[in-house]
Amino acid sequence: MLGNYCCSETPGRFYWTNGAILQAMLDGDWLLLEDIDQSNPDVLSALGPLLETRSLLVPGLGNSKVVAKNNFRVFATSRFDFKLSKLLI
């Protein structure tokens, strides 16, 4: 969701491509996370800093701190009634 490395046409060379979360942050877009209650706990813990500080450290970018643009918004849906704050602790 943050991004991944892809193979280039040159053997042994890779390049980084932004994932949906990172691209939405950089473009100031809205991000919809469907069924967030079904997500892996590792994904939820990675979202904590984003929701608290509007920024993320991205390992694929040399641990660069990426700050979301002002228009960036996160919307989440769930299948069940739950408290997101309990999952992020």
Cα distances from 74 to residues 9, 14, 37, 51, 65, in angstroms, run 35, 30, 15, 8, 18
- Answer whether residue 9 is part of any domain: no
DSSP 89: -
Q: How many domains does the chain have?
A: 1
**Are β-strands 30-33 and 73-76 bridged in parallel, bridged antiparallel, or unpaired?**
parallel
Whether pLDDT at 42 is above 90: no
- Answer whether residue 71 is part of any domain: yes
- Mean of pLDDT values over 22-50: 89
What pLDDT score was predicted for residue 23? 94
d(CA 6, CA 74): 26
**Are β-strands 14-18 and 30-33 bridged in parallel, bridged antiparallel, or unpaired?**
unpaired
- Answer whether residue 5 is part of any domain: no
- Answer whether residue 15 is part of any domain: no
- Residue range of the domain that includes 73: 20-88
**Are β-strands 55-58 and 64-67 bridged in parallel, bridged antiparallel, or unpaired?**
antiparallel
pLDDT band at 31 (very low <50, low <70, confident <90, very high): very high
Average pLDDT, the chain: 85
- Answer whether residue 6 is part of any domain: no
- Answer whether residue 34 is part of any domain: yes
pLDDT band at 86 (very low <50, low <70, confident <90, very high): low
- Answer whether residue 46 is part of any domain: yes
Whether pLDDT at 53 is above 90: yes
